[in-house]
Amino acid sequence: LAKTTQPISMDSYEGQEVNITCSHNNIATNDYITWYQQFPSQGPRFIIQGYKTKVTNEVASLFIPADRKSSTLSLPRVSLSDTAVYYCLGDPGAGSYQLTFGKGTKLSVIP
């Protein structure tokens, strides 16, 4: 089971760009890097997924260096509604479809 490491918490002011970095030293060569978001008292929600380089969608960007040992989730111009826990998912192992959540990064956006 490949473990991920990310900061426990981060604070940011509204309107700023937030970057959350996750290390996943033992990621499998064929595994995707996936990030989920969870608001209080709600189920997790998929944000973005990538394999290498950069992926961008309407919510976030994901930067993955060539060695794939880390990834950075970038949230442009955060608002109060972006206050949530952000999870970088670990690799559960070959043939497993389960999502493996760590403790995540609790992002608090301050007015």
Partner 1 sequence: EPEVTQTPSHQVTQMGQEVILRCVPISNHLYFYWYRQILGQKVEFLVSFYNNEISEKSEIFDDQFSVERPDGSNFTLKIRSTKLEDSAMYFCASSEAGGRMYEQYFGPGTRLTVT
**Interface stretch with partner 1, choices 16-24, 26-34, 57-65, 72-80 (CB under 8 A):** 26-34
When asked if residue 1 is in the footprint of partner 1 (CB under 8 A), the reply is no
**Interface stretch with partner 1, choices 19-27, 54-62, 73-81, 94-102 (CB under 8 A):** 94-102
**Which residue number, 89 or 107, has a Cβ lying nearer to partner 1?**
89
Residue where the block lists tokens 């109060």: 80
When asked if residue 69 is in the footprint of partner 1 (CB under 8 A), the reply is no
When asked if residue 49 is in the footprint of partner 1 (CB under 8 A), the reply is yes
Residue 81 φ then ψ, to 5°: -75, -5
When asked if residue 31 is in the footprint of partner 1 (CB under 8 A), the reply is yes
**Interface stretch with partner 1, choices 10-18, 43-51, 57-65, 70-78 (CB under 8 A):** 43-51
